[in-house]
């Protein structure tokens, strides 16, 4: 729903067959697939929110990620999808078109699993994870969000990223951005799902940009996930602040959804709110 409120044209939900009916009844705007269906029409795949840790769902998620990579789709991995990465980094290693969105606990676990030096400065660990995973963008959620990408390491791979024809030097990027936009004083349990949908929508627009639907293609594809993560973080934090101002301690994640349009306009202009980018 956050992707739709953000401005995505369509939102598909791929889920367990036992959950399909309940999810479909939530809103007529959702297109629900109780099986892993054909995905060639999608611009981005978000994996993790509501996934669960059952072996069969984790297996399907791994398959979905593999298919997305083969097709050069952008990916957002959150929540239980991060377990897959920790247990088998090859699932995402070298793929520049992905964003990981770990919270504090998930980030600590992921750092240990991929081999980040525990003595490394806290503000450098996100970019170290990115380097070790071959250029995956890392959005470290916290009091301020840190977004980092490093595609300059040996593990970075344009072929695995479906970027074989790209300029190798242009696709090299090493950057960390801190988002200090004020958020609400209560952080709801589902706020990360809102963030995933927001980042995913920006990445869908990035895919359209990469394909030539608009813009001049001056931004390399390897940098699109970083920009999407920064934009998604800013808007989600602003939406949280606006919702908390209205609801106070009674705030729930659903209260944030209607605030996304106004939060988007706060940073990107009211004219961008009314139509396609």
The answer, yes or no, to whether residue 18 has pLDDT greater than 60, is yes
State residue 37's pLDDT score. 64
pLDDT-based confidence at 20, cuts 50/70/90? confident
Determine the Cα–Cα distance for residues 55 and 183; give it in Å rounded to an integer: 35
pLDDT exceeds 60 at position 273: no
Return the higher-pLDDT residue of 223 and 41.
223
**pLDDT recorded at residue 271:** 67
What is the side-by-side order of every strand in the sheet holding 44-47?
44-47, 74-77, 98-100, 137-140, 145-150, 174-179
Q: What's the confidence (pLDDT) of residue 14?
A: 82
pLDDT band at 39 (very low <50, low <70, confident <90, very high): low
Looking at residue 277, what is its pLDDT?
45
* Band (276; pLDDT cuts 50, 70, 90): very low
Residue 23 confidence (pLDDT): 87
**Region 220-241 average pLDDT:** 97
CA-CA distance, 263 to 37, in Å (whole number)? 33
Residue 77 pLDDT level (bands cut at 50, 70, 90): very high
Q: Tell me how far CA of residue 213 lies from CA of 3, 98, 223, 274, in angstroms.
A: 20, 21, 18, 18
Provide the pLDDT for residue 254.
94
- The b/e string for 205-224 (b: 16+ C-beta within 10 A; e otherwise) is bbbebbeeeeeeeeebbbbb
Q: What is the distance between the alpha carbons of residues 174 and 172, in angstroms, rounded to a whole number?
A: 7
pLDDT at 185 over 50: yes
Q: Which residues pair with 11 in a beta bridge?
A: 30
Angle between helices 260-268 and 224-247 (to 10 degrees): 120
Residue 33 has pLDDT above 90, yes or no: no
**pLDDT for 27:** 84
Q: Are 110 and 86 in contact (CB under 8 A)?
A: yes
Residue 49 has pLDDT above 50, yes or no: yes
Condensed to tens digits (0 to 9), the pLDDT of residues 112-146 reads: 999 999 999 999 999 999 999 999 999 999 999 99
């Amino acid at each position: 729903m956050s992707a739709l409120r953000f401005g995505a044209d369509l939102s598909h939900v791929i889920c367990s067959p036992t959950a399909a009916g309940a999810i479909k009844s939530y809103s007529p705007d959702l297109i629900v697939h109780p099986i892993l269906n054909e995905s060639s029409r999608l611009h981005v795949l978000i994996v993790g929110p509501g996934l669960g840790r059952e072996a069969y769902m984790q297996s399907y998620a791994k398959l979905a990620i593999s298919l997305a990579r083969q097709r050069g789709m952008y990916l957002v991995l959150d929540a239980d999808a991060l377990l897959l990465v920790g247990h088998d980094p090859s699932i995402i290693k070298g793929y520049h078109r992905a964003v990981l969105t770990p919270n504090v606990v998930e980030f600590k676990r992921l750092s240990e699993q991929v081999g980040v030096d525990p003595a490394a400065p806290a503000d450098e660990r996100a970019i170290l994870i990115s380097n070790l995973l071959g250029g995956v963008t890392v959005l470290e959620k916290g009091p301020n969000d840190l977004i980092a990408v490093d595609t300059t390491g040996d593990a970075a791979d344009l072929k695995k990223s479906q970027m074989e024809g790209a300029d190798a030097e242009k696709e090299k990027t090493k950057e960390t951005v801190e988002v200090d936009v004020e958020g609400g004083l209560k952080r709801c349990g589902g706020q990360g799902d809102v963030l995933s949908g927001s980042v995913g929508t920006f990445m869908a627009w990035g895919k359209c940009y990469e394909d030539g639907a608009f813009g001049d293609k001056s931004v390399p594809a390897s940098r699109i996930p970083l920009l999407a993560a920064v934009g998604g973080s800013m808007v989600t934090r602003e939406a949280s602040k606006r919702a908390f101002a209205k609801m106070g301690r009674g705030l729930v994640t659903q209260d944030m959804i209607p605030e996304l349009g106004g939060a988007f306009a706060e940073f990107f202009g009211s004219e961008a709110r009314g139509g396609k980018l």
